[in-house]
Structure 1
Amino acid sequence: MMIPPRLCLGLFLVWSSSVLAQWDASRFAWYTTDAGGDFSSALPIGNGRLGAAIFGSAVEHIVLNEDSVWSGPWQDRVNPSSKTALPKILEFLRAGDITAAGDVAMGDVAANPTSPRAYNPLVSMDIDFGHDSGLSSYTRSLDTAEGTATVTYTNNNVNYTREYVTSYPHGVFSVRLSASQPGKLDVKVTLSRDRWVLSQTAGVNTDYVTGGNYIALKASSGQESDAITFWSEARFVNSGGSISSDGKSVSVTGADSCDIFFDAETSYRYPDETSALAELNKKLDTAVNAGFSAVRSAAISDFTGLTGRVSLDLGSSGDAGNQETPTRLANYRRDPDADPQLVTLMFNFGRHLLAAASRDTGPLSLPTNLQGIWNQDYDPPWQSKFTININTEMNYWPALVTNLAETHSPLFNLLRVAIPRGREVAKNMYGCKEGFVLHHNTDLWGDAAPVDQDVQYLSLT
């Protein structure tokens, strides 16, 4: 029977309205394409210590971070000539010879090496579904209220869903992959890192740790004997189908769904491999035993306990708010008054980032760096450090005024680490008997020495 054109149009409009209605214009950032190769377009989620940037590609690519993975151990960078250089610099400045003062600063005050440590990536997780083409009805979304990300699409008449959450209560990153038809989920999962991998293993139905299916990767932040070492592991729980391993990756075939639980621990917080692995195994054992639904529920309850404290209402955007986020951004440039809920979304997105990147995870919890906790590069812009002349302060501007006061806690923890370093630098560089000094950048070690070999930066304290 032929359906009348008016009825077709009516059905389409009803379907369109139902699809668009799920996206609260003040809450969701959503897209109909993947992030491509653009890291800044990936969806960022986190639990304050672990960060995940989700690209949503056909072969899923996830950049994982742990906030204490930096490029190396503590380094004493203070220039031994700096204490005697200060009187010379002052003498030249009083004489009006700024160039000579700058030359002395460059030679005798600049630290060696010139920069603190850089924030580095942890590992990448890649998930191959065998869906290289033919994806339709594609969406990926970030829920700024719940702190979760989702990717949905159709391939060969099967609807696929990817759910992502980083749990603060359980301390893990979790994934659920599912298909709308039984036995239609096939995935191959790998963990990888470009540098300083010390070991990598994978197995299924083994007696490894508590038994089960896993990929484990151990790596170092560099070649130094005291470099930061980390231990990472993903565990797999499949519903239906079969599971296998080639020793480096894990494959699930003919399943209904597959859950992944991931954690990493580092030598920054744990004195030896035994204690680090004990913490890693405790978190993963607890998460696997609880199951994905319970982990997700606990994570959402925790996250909304932060984000739900504040509600901003600038008015409704109407139809302008029903478009995907890139379209809304483009339209906003032409007519900002038409979409007030985009401003609300950006407000909520900012609070999401702070709640996802800065939580008290213990005495050595770390604050947000220049990129929050999300980074894919070994030499990121400005080393993705803590830039404390302005950027760190800007990161925490929303903390008190938007009722996220406890996100300050990691910043105070870093100050406790940095102040003793600053006392030593104040004494050894400037001859100060009391007080402490920090220059305009620091790292997870509380590095207090000057940064960069340039007069304009050497003067920043």
Structure 2
Amino acid sequence: ITADGMIKASLVPAKSQSENVDNKLTCFTFIKVINDGGTQTASSRRNIIQQGIVAGNTAAPEITVSDATSATVIISSATNFVNYNDISDDAEAKALAYITRYLDKNKDYDTTLAGHTKKYKEQFDRVSIELGENPSRETKDTEQRIKEFYSDPDDPGLIENYFQFGRYLLICSSQPGTQPANLQGIWNPNARQYPAWDSKYTTNINVEMNYWAAEVANLSECHDPFIEMVKDVAETGAQTAREMYGARGWVLHHNTDLWRTTGAVDNGPVGIWPTCNAWFCSHLWEKYLFSGDKTYLAEVYPVMKGCAEFFRDFLVEDPNSGYMVVCPSNSPENHPGLYSYTNDAGSKVNVALFG
């Protein structure tokens, strides 16, 4: 407990290394409880639990509120992460600055909620959509409407809701200065649950799909975290292009993460897909088409040029058609259905990659 009554907690990685790389991320959290009436006391009574196991006889701080009308819990967390190549920040100072700045404003819950709602509506209320009505459907709950939609899609209101729900998700998971929305969004249902696919970015389609509607749905600034990631992988992907393919420019395969990895990972049917750079660059161009911002275009032009340089060096001529083609490559997690083989386990496997 700090002198001004906050819980201060530090978190360290559960493992010293992951995939032979040292885990050097640190995280600090500050928790402030403000009670309306009643009393508040601080103590250290709960055993510290690490990965579900009580850690010896150590104890963690605890704040107890008694006989209050209500209590507001304010939480601030930060890590030493700056960018994919820099973890030199002061996590404790950053987390403390966040909560101190908020507390200094002396805002109550209602004021905070009103500010949050106002900020959200500035983005959400930019777009309205009207596709028609079907009163018989609109009295039913969403789950039932979805079930009925399969056999009778005459429910324009449900399509409107679906469109706006997608905008809501993008607003909530991708704001300027944050990381892009990944395969799961930014949440997982349980803090101790190992997130599916490591909460990485599956770049052979999924992360692009998250942002297909960013410009057309009038959420251009929500596109920014993804655009910044494209710039990052253009830097890290230059080494991959050079070392894997002897090519200029930059390349990215089917997966990346917070550290902007760009090499081929996982397995053949998905991993050998060195064409993600082209898909990513389509987003750079899309953003320009909607904004007409030539300053932005000059900023991202080197990234698009590097993508083109990679293909100038990587494409080969197909002797049958004369077309310039990528080889090796595959269709993302797909196969042409032409050939198959039996693997060591005796299972039939479709051929996904041709050389």
TM range (shorter): 0.5 to 0.7
Partner SS for 1:350: helix
Task: Pick closer, same or farther for the CA change 1:332–1:236 going to 2, 3 Å.
Answer: farther
CA contact (8 A) 2:10 2:26 kept: no
In the alignment, which of 118, 125, 142 is matched to residue 308 of structure 1? 125
In 2, the alpha carbon distance for the partners of 1:280 and 1:322 equals 46
- Counterpart residue number, 2:7: 214
Letter in 2 for 1:306: Q
In the alignment, which of 220, 229, 234 is matched to residue 414 of structure 1? 229
In 1, the alpha carbon distance for the partners of 2:99 and 2:134 equals 43
CA contact (8 A) 1:452 1:458 kept: no
In 1, the alpha carbon distance for the partners of 2:116 and 2:79 equals 23
Letter in 1 for 2:92: L
Superposition pairs of residues 137-148 of structure 1, within 5 angstroms: none
In 2, the alpha carbon distance for the partners of 1:322 and 1:212 equals 50
Task: Return the structure number with greater helix share.
Answer: 2
C-alpha displacement of 1:460 = 4.3
What are the ranges of 5 or more consecutive residues in structure 2 without an aligned counterpart? Answer: 45-59, 276-355
- Counterpart residue number, 1:83: none
In 2, the alpha carbon distance for the partners of 1:287 and 1:256 equals 22
C-alpha displacement of 1:256 = 1.3
Task: Pick closer, same or farther for the CA change 1:386–1:332 going to 2, 3 Å.
Answer: same
In 1, the alpha carbon distance for the partners of 2:141 and 2:268 equals 44
Select the structure with the greater relative contact order (CA < 8 A; seq sep ≥ 6): 1
C-alpha displacement of 1:356 = 0.7
- Counterpart residue number, 2:159: 343
Letter in 2 for 1:351: R
Partner SS for 1:243: strand
C-alpha displacement of 1:217 = 4.3
Task: Pick closer, same or farther for the CA change 1:267–1:222 going to 2, 3 Å.
Answer: farther
* Cα offsets for 1:66-117 (capped at 9, x unmatched): xxxxxxxxxxxxxxxxxxxxxxxxxxxxxxxxxxxxxxxxxxxxxxxxxxxx
Identity of aligned residues (%): 32
1:279 and 2:76 correspond: no
In 1, the alpha carbon distance for the partners of 2:76 and 2:139 equals 36
- Counterpart residue number, 1:370: 183
Partner SS for 1:284: helix
Letter in 1 for 2:81: Y
- Counterpart residue number, 1:448: 262
CA contact (8 A) 1:232 1:264 kept: yes
Which shows bigger deviation, 264-273 or 443-452? 264-273
C-alpha displacement of 1:389 = 1.4
Superposition pairs of residues 188-337 of structure 1, within 5 angstroms: 203=1, 206-207=2-3, 211-214=4-7, 216-220=9-13, 222-224=15-17, 225-247=22-44, 248=60, 249-269=62-82, 271-272=87-88, 275-288=90-103, 289-318=106-135, 320-333=137-150, 335-337=152-154
* Cα offsets for 1:120-170 (capped at 9, x unmatched): xxxxxxxxxxxxxxxxxxxxxxxxxxxxxxxxxxxxxxxxxxxxxxxxxxx
Q: For this pair of structures, how many residues does the alignment match?
A: 248
CA contact (8 A) 2:81 2:88 kept: no
Task: Pick closer, same or farther for the CA change 1:395–1:456 going to 2, 3 Å.
Answer: closer
C-alpha displacement of 1:292 = 2.1
Partner SS for 1:353: helix
Letter in 1 for 2:170: L
Task: Pick closer, same or farther for the CA change 1:331–1:451 going to 2, 3 Å.
Answer: same
Please report the RMSD computed on the Cα atoms of aligned residues, expressed in angstroms: 2.5
In 2, the alpha carbon distance for the partners of 1:219 and 1:295 equals 31
Task: Return the structure number with greater strand share.
Answer: 1
In 1, the alpha carbon distance for the partners of 2:147 and 2:35 equals 41
C-alpha displacement of 1:328 = 3.9
CA contact (8 A) 2:41 2:64 kept: yes
* Cα offsets for 1:164-203 (capped at 9, x unmatched): xxxxxxxxxxxxxxxxxxxxxxxxxxxxxxxxxxxxxxx4
* Cα offsets for 1:182-234 (capped at 9, x unmatched): xxxxxxxxxxxxxxxxxxxxx4xx51xxx134363423263235432211233
Letter in 1 for 2:268: D
In 1, the alpha carbon distance for the partners of 2:263 and 2:115 equals 42
Task: Pick closer, same or farther for the CA change 1:448–1:257 going to 2, 3 Å.
Answer: same
Partner SS for 1:232: strand
Task: Pick closer, same or farther for the CA change 1:221–1:266 going to 2, 3 Å.
Answer: farther
- Counterpart residue number, 1:429: 244
Normalising by structure 1, we get a TM-score of 0.49
In 2, the alpha carbon distance for the partners of 1:311 and 1:327 equals 24
Letter in 2 for 1:405: S
Normalising by structure 2, we get a TM-score of 0.63
In the alignment, which of 189, 197, 207 is matched to residue 392 of structure 1? 207
Task: Pick closer, same or farther for the CA change 1:223–1:367 going to 2, 3 Å.
Answer: same
* Cα offsets for 1:366-404 (capped at 9, x unmatched): 211111111246543332211111111100011001100
Partner SS for 1:400: coil
In 1, the alpha carbon distance for the partners of 2:151 and 2:67 equals 49
In 1, the alpha carbon distance for the partners of 2:249 and 2:271 equals 21
Letter in 1 for 2:27: F
Superposition pairs of residues 75-114 of structure 1, within 5 angstroms: none
